[in-house]
Structure 1
């Protein structure tokens, strides 16, 4: 254990946590709902991006980003059920493997430029085909898999995190603050592959392989 770790004062119980942070306002507690409202449906139809948090049976966690054109990211099946399609990726399937042993998921849906977000917590199952897959096709390609989420709680979250981070202010964006994706891949994942080949792989044609 490092010297810095010895100097840390850890919180080990909820009472201690509440003493430090205080109690949540009644409004924050009461905003949880168990079914989608009309504005939630509108939000899901407009959101092109979400984060999916899962954990395996032992509690090991994963957060996976999901992105699609607005209207194709999440399909409302009914007032308490949504479906999120899978798209071609690296095939690690970390979150999906977690769901097979622990169905609980947490979702945050983002709309570019908006600081508030839509949060959904629920229980997920993996479906390899269903009639609604036709409505999730992009460019004529149906997904091979969808994550169907039975909603436990849904609520809107405030914009403090986005305001603090200035996430949507282009003048604060630091695109060149860290190495490019090809250079990261060269350094950490594919040291034997020429940088030129990685730059070509992650170049303009990369977008042609999204679906």
Structure 2
């Protein structure tokens, strides 16, 4: 049988993780995670749609666009986008969220999991009112957080300028969407 259908089959293929790999998952933000998040201009957020499918969406801004409110809470303003609201709709019914923070030039990433909620109260909105208040703020109660090793970033040569692909590889996003939706 080639398909893995049980945890036992999967775990039989691999050695036990190093104790540090297991213990590095903690339940609240500490100094290094706070420093990383405050300096991260980019995060991938993972949500789950009503059918149980995972959805991943990028978010970016000036370093610190995701605020650390306390050792268990992060928040960020929803910024203007295409108004599909996929992630926000998902969070209304499935509040579990994953976050993957990245800093250009640093190989390690920070992974976090938590319970998200959407807010419109003035105190939260005012934290993100430069230049104008957002429509809402996403608040995340942290359940688990860990630093992830830089191996994937190194293998992909993600931060290596010499490995960057010429943009001419693909047409503009508008052209792609037009090609995909024309009949």
Give the TM bin, normalised by the shorter chain. Answer: over 0.9
Alignment of 1:34-113 (within 5 A): 34-71=27-64, 73-113=65-105
Q: 2:153 aligns with which of 155, 159, 162?
A: 162
- The gaps in structure 2 that reach 5 residues or longer are none
Name the SS of the counterpart of 1:43 in structure 2: helix
Contact 1:118/1:156 (<8 A) preserved = yes
Aligned twin of 2:122: 130
Aligned twin of 1:197: none
Name the SS of the counterpart of 1:83 in structure 2: strand
Q: What do residues 75-111 of structure 1 show as CA deviations (whole Å, max 9, x unaligned)?
A: 1111101102100111111111111111111000111
- The gaps in structure 1 that reach 5 residues or longer are 1-7, 193-211
Contact 2:124/2:137 (<8 A) preserved = no
**Whose helix fraction is larger, Structure 1's or Structure 2's?**
1
Contact 2:108/2:150 (<8 A) preserved = yes
* TM-score computed with the length of structure 1 as normaliser: 0.81
CA RMSD of aligned residues (A): 1.7
Alignment length, in residue pairs? Answer: 182
The alpha carbon displacement at 1:57 in A equals: 4.4
Bigger RCO of structures 1 and 2 (CA < 8 A, at least 6 apart): 2
* TM-score computed with the length of structure 2 as normaliser: 0.92
Name the SS of the counterpart of 1:9 in structure 2: coil
